[in-house]
Amino acid sequence: MNTMTQPANDNGDINSPQTGKESTLRGDFVGQKQIVKERTLGKTYNSTPRKPMFGKKSSKFSRQSPHASGSKHASQTKNDHPSSRFVLSPIMFFFALCLWAAAGAGAFVYLQTPINPTLSIFSCVGVGWAALFLAYISKIQNRHFFKDLGLSSMLASVGGVVFIVSNSFNMPISMITLCGSASVLTILLAGFLKERYFLTVSVMAATSWTLLSLNQTQISSFYWVFPLIWAVQMALSISFKAKLPLAMATLSGLIWLGGHTLLLIITLKISILMAISAIFVIGMAYLYVGRLLQEKRSISSVFQANLGWTIAAICALVLQDYWLMDTLHAPWSNMSTLTFNTYPLSTQWIGFVLLCTCGVAICAATIKSGYKHTFLSKTAFVSFTLLLPISIAFHTQILAAVEAYTNLPKSSVGILIGAAISLLALNKLLHGLRTKHTSETLLALGVLCLEAILLIDNLYTHPENAMVFASAVLIMAITIGVLQQHKTTQKFKQVQNHA
């Protein structure tokens, strides 16, 4: 009896497999095309096996469990075994479902008058085991609703155990610790059991953890745990092609970054300028990671690259405003007057900037397709990533050198930064126009407009800066090979269209 249901896609939609055809699915087009392609090539399910040709058994179209291990021939033999057929039968599913219901009912009745907390823990663990068994059988039989039901009740049983242990043995757990632990536990389960469900729960717990930690007035001892979990969540979301967890993880990462940066500034661990420079290098590193993902055709790669570029551009514009400043204005007027070395985390800041710059360099060296960068242009990008934070660390020394060795006004450093930003935005605009990415075009236009607003006043009061700006743009354009990049050769068009 055929108990195999039609396979569902990652969004839970059931599609009949059609060899050689691509179905139109909602969601990320590239990712979904890949899913359908994989399904049609190797993982289709037929209800009746084909007759063997020339007396040999063909394993190509045999009924397969989605999680059969080993060679195809071995798995075919394995699935023909009576025990495998029993596991795939509806009797086993109903047994698992009844066992789960019985365990739940028993635990509910026992917990009304608990005699011993240890036995209460055992009753909850029993429910968890029955739930895991239901989830396992449902997964094998492609019953996605019952699989999620089993996993949910397993998590509920873990919650029950935590509640009993916390109350009976006097181990108070704060809400922040609970959310953080839930996030860690579920991400481990997501990676171990390869379940998207746990990934979604982990991201929700991490978001709650981030929002609750904004209430804290100091950085917690385990502040380093969140970036680690976040990185694993992002990697698993991309691996599972899960858009919702990816979006939520990106949002929670931004909230964590913003909240903790503010906390570091308020507690005078770093200055505002150091914080903005650090976020700038994070943005550049994120941009290059997004480009690497684009090369691998991962989901949401364009959005991630644009997000990194936007963060880096905004931070660069803010730093440029600081350099161009003639009279004090907000937020610089409220800045503390401590020198760079007096901040407690100045050494860690330097290490962090160098680490991110190394990351940018490695990513730039690894990216092969999509962007026609020469070695010189890659070096220029990496140098810009490093030089902007350095200009903040050695601000007074650079100003003194400009005054001593040139006839240019103090704001000329800001003009050079503006020239670099303008060129990068122009590069982005041309790339967006050629690849027909409206988001890139609009972002680049926005940055160019902001740049114009910043520069207009300064060019009006210091006309000599116009020459500095124009020369800088020209020299940088030649260095990074803007014209070479956007030359429309046939080969280049092919590479760009696949990016």
Partner 1 sequence: MHNRYITTALALLILPFLAITYQASRIENGTTIRLPVKIGSLHSETRKYFHNDTFKRFSKINLETPLNTIDTTHVTGHNNFRKNQKIFVFLSPGPNNIWYPYTLSKQQPKQSCHIKTCLVLRGHVRAQHGDILNIRYQYEVFAPTAKIEQELKKYGDEDLELILSVGTNGHSTVRALNIAGEVFPQRKLRISALFGFTHNIANAAPVK
List residues near partner 1 by CB under 8 A.
67, 69, 112-114, 117-118, 121, 125, 128-129, 132-133, 135-136, 139, 154, 157-158, 161-162, 165, 167-172, 189, 192-193, 215-218, 221
| Closest CB to partner 1 among residues 240, 371 | 240
Burial zone of 333 (CB within 10 Å; 0-12 exposed, 13-18 middle, 19+ buried): exposed
For the CB of residue 274, give the shortest distance to partner 1 in the complex, in Å: 21
**How far apart are alpha carbons 492 and 366 in whole angstroms?**
18
Whichever of 125 and 399 has its CB closer to partner 1, that residue is 125
What's the closest the beta carbon of residue 155 comes to partner 1, in angstroms?
A: 10
Q: Give Cα separations from 422 to 221, 283, 324, 369, 449 (angstroms).
A: 41, 17, 15, 24, 10
**Could you tell me how many residues make up the chain?**
499
Within 10 angstroms of residue 213's Cβ, the number of other Cβ atoms is: 21
CB of 113 to partner 1, least distance (A): 6
Minimum distance from CB of 215 to partner 1 (Å)?
7
Closer CB to partner 1, 218 or 374, in the complex: 218
467 exposed, middle or buried (CB, 10 Å; 0-12, 13-18, 19+)?
Answer: exposed
| Minimum distance, C-beta of residue 228 to partner 1, in the bound complex (Å) | 20
Nearest-approach distance from CB 136 to partner 1, in angstroms:
5
Cβ-Cβ contacts under 8 Å for 276 (sequence gap 6 or more): 315, 318, 319, 392
User: DSSP alpha helices (H): ranges in 67-143?
Assistant: 72-79, 82-87, 90-110, 117-140
Rounded distance between C-alpha atoms, residue 487 and residue 492, angstroms? 8
Sign of CA dihedral 100, 101, 103, 107: positive
Q: Which is nearer to partner 1, 165 or 367 (CB)?
A: 165
The alpha helices in 269-325, defined as continuous H runs, are: 272-295, 301-324
- Cβ atoms < 10 Å from Cβ of 180: 23
Within a 10 A sphere around the Cβ of 455, how many other Cβ atoms?
A: 21
Task: Rank residues 168 and 379 by Cβ distance to partner 1 and give the closer one.
Answer: 168
- Considering the complex, state which of residue 165 and residue 466 has its C-beta at the smaller distance from partner 1: 165
Q: For residues 210 and 259, is the Cβ–Cβ distance under 8 A?
A: yes
In this structure, are residues 370 and 426 in contact, taking their beta carbons and an 8 Å threshold? no
The answer to whether 420 touches 386, Cβ cutoff 8 Å, is no
Rounded CA gap, 134 and 147, in Å? 7
Nearer to partner 1, 47 or 221 (CB): 221
Q: How far is the CB of 121 from partner 1 (least distance, A)?
A: 5
Minimum Å gap between C-beta 242 and partner 1 is 19
**In this complex, which beta carbon is closest to partner 1, that of residue 169 or of residue 460?**
169
Q: Which residues pair with 408 in a beta bridge?
A: none
- The least distance separating partner 1 from the CB of residue 86, rounded to whole angstroms, comes to 14
Residue from 331, 326, 287, 324 nearest 417 by CA: 324
Residue among 71 and 484 whose Cβ is closer to partner 1: 71
Place of tokens 């906390």: 263
Taking the CA atoms of 199, 355, 382 and 295 in sequence, report the sign of the dihedral they define.
negative
Closest CA to 43 of 133, 135, 142: 142
Q: Give min distance, CB of 81 to partner 1, in A.
A: 14
The residues near 457 (Cβ < 8 Å, ≥ 6 apart) are none
Please say which residue, 189 or 363, places its beta carbon nearer to partner 1: 189
- Residue number, 76 or 320, with CB nearest to partner 1: 76
- How near is the Cβ of 196 to partner 1 at its closest, in Å? 15
Residue 222 DSSP symbol = T
